[in-house]
Amino acid sequence: MSAADASIGKCERKQFPAAKDYTDVYDHFGLLGPRSLFGHGIHLSERELNRLHESDSTIVHCPTSNNFLGSGLFDIGHARNRSQPVGVAIATDVGGGTSYSILQTLSEAYTVAMLKGGKLDALNGFYLATLGNAKRLHLDTEIGNLEPGKWADIVVLNPSATAVLAARQQLSTTVEESLFALMILGDDRAVQAIYAAGQRFESRENIQ
């Protein structure tokens, strides 16, 4: 079976017999580009990855969904580090996913990366979840970090929110180690407060 056959379903092959692969169907209708976001990206051929790179399209990594459905493992390291890198965002999946928590999503993304023989370190993980996502959405002039003039949409995380996190934080000697503990062990209980446009509207105390 060719790479093209593997990446396009029977229905699409019947409807679009001239298509090189699944991505080529979108390309035929002008749907690749800097504003295009494609979920999962598990079974892409090298030709498809090259075309996504050329068009500056984005693959949105949804690991909890892929893992729950048994769809496969997205090789985030290969997509981002190849000679023609593809833009990658990370997100929860409300359809097939098992959690809305970006922390749990990052934890599963780390696990998937390890299973593919790579690694997603904490600094890269939190970058993808903040400024990295904002850049892929072309909203980095408005959100994504704490630069003056941005909207100040902020989630405040408590690195010692649970007993397990608190014990792990005692061993952390760097910011990256603290972030790694949050990425692997954190969940909604680590959310201390949320700000939208600079206004605090939810806190752990209010939830309780």
d(CA 107, CA 111): 6
Tell me, yes or no, if the pTM score tops 0.85. Answer: yes
Residues 6+ apart with CB under 8 A from 122: 176, 177, 179, 180, 182, 183
d(CA 5, CA 12): 10
Q: Average pLDDT, stretch 175-185? A: 98
Sheet holding 37-39, edge to edge: 37-39, 58-61, 87-90
One domain for residues 11 and 104: yes
User: What is the tens place of the pLDDT at every residue in 86-109?
Assistant: 999 999 988 889 999 999 999 999
Q: At what angle do helices 175-185 and 102-115 cross, to 10 degrees?
A: 100
What's the domain range around 188? Answer: 152-208
At residue 21 the predicted structure's pLDDT band, cuts being 50, 70 and 90, is very high
One domain for residues 18 and 39: yes
Q: Is residue 147 part of a domain?
A: no
Largest Cα–Cα separation, the chain: 59
With a pLDDT cut of 70, the percent of the chain lying above it is 91
Residues in the chain: 208
One domain for residues 29 and 11: yes
Q: What is the CATH number of the domain that holds 19?
A: 3.20.20.140
* 183 HSE (CA, 13 A, CB side): 22
- What pLDDT shows up at residue 2? 39
At residue 4 the predicted structure's pLDDT band, cuts being 50, 70 and 90, is very low
One domain for residues 160 and 200: yes
Q: Which two tokens stand for residue 39?
A: 């979920």
One domain for residues 39 and 112: yes
Q: Is residue 55 part of a domain?
A: yes
Q: How many domains does the structure of the chain reveal?
A: 2
User: What is the tens place of the pLDDT at every residue in 100-150?
Assistant: 999 999 999 999 999 999 999 999 999 999 999 999 999 999 999 999 999
One domain for residues 75 and 132: yes
